[in-house]
Amino acid sequence: MIKFYNSLTKRKEEFVPHGDKVKMYSCGPTVYYYPHIGNMRAYLFMDNIRRVLKYNGYQMDGVINITDVGHLTSDADEGEDKMLVASEREHKSPWEIAKFYTDVFMKETKRLNIDMPEHIAPATSVIEDIIKFVEGLIEKGYAYQTSKGIYFDINKFPGYGKLGGAVDQKMAGARIEVDDEKHNPYDFVLWVKAPKEHIMQWNSPWGMGYPGWHIECSVIGNKFLGEYIDIHTGGVDHKTIHHENEIAQSDSLCGHQVVKFWMHVEFLQVDGGKMSKSLGNIYTLDDLKARGFEPEDFRYFYFMAHYSKQQNFTFEAIKGAQNSLKAFKTAVLSHKNGQNKLEEGVIEYYRKAFLEAINDDLNMPKALAVCQKLLKEEKSSQVYFLIEEFNKVLGFDFEESALPEEVKILAQERWQAKQNKDYAKADAIRAEILAKGYVVKDSKEGFVLEKA
């Protein structure tokens, strides 16, 4: 049995898909700047769900959107379009900005070995679908037109607020643009009537304009997955506005609940606080790389906390994750050629324990603990192959860390030369090892070999 925490019902529930395949929608990036490690936690979360479901034998039909138009600088329909802000900042067209940062995002997902959805859909690729969707909401009486655009009337949707809290709670203190034409201050925009100078705009029944941010996810989900979606993922920051608006749009048009499970990942903090440009603590994978940490180290770090808890990033913590991952890989490979035969039932015990952990709302810290306990068994190839099976969920590359035999021999020769105080020979062998793509680091206990 798989159980996930459902943000909509606010409890852990048994997961059973609506059809033969699991239909899953994931909120994607706004491609206006480099994604930081806080952003990437949301996509590791998406990856985690997909891998766990596949491990359980399910087939996936997933989609992720790429916001390349319409996301204003405030999630509550205020400010400028983020793509235009980036365009002015870098003196490039919004199309060039979108292409560049979409490529960056896709590269980052590959570096983290993220299992991407079957469909990747930019907002600009579904403009006609968005227009039809908005027309449908108008026809059903859920939307109305003003001089500024088309708005969704939240008073027409009785369930508004069921995900992120009542309107007066979730909007308390929010700055809302004054628009005398709105029926309600918290009605949100579906389609924006663009001024002539606005770069990204399309023709519509309401004149030239562009979509609001919230509408694209409802439209893309409907287009690729249909009217019944099993899981919708995203960051916890989307819950009170963006996802609330998605529910209102989708359920109103379809006439029933579209998404069954809403799943949200918590924030990644840095040094106990929020990431911010002013504090200079917004880090990318390249920033980590410059300090000696691989994307896999961050992947392991992510598994050290439950997705529903805020996780605190420090360089001390990522160093701990790096060391733990190295030890983990070494232990796994030490079992590869093990000749011992484990007692009957041992493998099934660990397989069941691992499955119970991941199926209990993605309890990855517990799943790692099961792996660590398994690796303490006698050296056996059975252990190695079981970890390889578990790795369908973990997503690490164990073989990459396997050292060439010639490099191991050279390292031993260098160590012996150092013990004999033949430092010239030790240095020469160190250079030879480096030429083969590896570095040797000495410690009190001996030495460690790593890829250069």
What pLDDT digit, counting tens, does each position of 373-421 carry?
Answer: 999 999 999 999 999 999 999 999 987 656 677 887 888 889 888 888 8
Verify that 123 and 63 share a domain, yes or no: yes
- Of the chain, the percentage scoring pLDDT greater than 90 comes to 76
For residues 254-264, average pLDDT:
98
What is the span of the domain harbouring residue 77?
3-265
Q: How far apart are CA 229 and CA 233, in angstroms?
A: 11
Verify that 204 and 345 share a domain, yes or no: no
For residues 149-167, average pLDDT:
90
For residues 180-186, average pLDDT:
86
Verify that 393 and 412 share a domain, yes or no: no
Mean pLDDT of the chain: 91
Verify that 9 and 155 share a domain, yes or no: yes
Verify that 256 and 176 share a domain, yes or no: yes
* Listed residues 265, 300, 334: the one ending a domain: 265
Q: Which of 121-125, 172-176, 216-220, 280-284 has the lowest mean pLDDT?
A: 172-176
Residue, of 92 and 171, whose pLDDT is higher: 92
Verify that 357 and 291 share a domain, yes or no: yes
Q: How many CB atoms lie within 10 A of CB 115?
A: 17
Any domain includes 216: yes
Interval 323-342: pLDDT, tens: 999 999 989 988 988 899 99
For residues 178-184, average pLDDT:
77
Q: Look-up: residue for tokens 């399309």?
A: 202
Q: Are 64 and 221 within 8 A, CB to CB?
A: no
Any domain includes 274: no
Read off the pTM: 0.87
Q: Are 61 and 26 within 8 A, CB to CB?
A: no
Number of domains, the chain:
3
Verify that 353 and 335 share a domain, yes or no: yes
Verify that 342 and 219 share a domain, yes or no: no
Q: How far apart are CA 50 and CA 356, in angstroms?
A: 16
Verify that 189 and 89 share a domain, yes or no: yes
Q: How far apart are CA 8 and CA 22, in angstroms?
A: 18
pLDDT for residue 167: 62
What DSSP string runs through 370-397?
HHHHHTTS-SBHHHHHHHHHHHHHH---
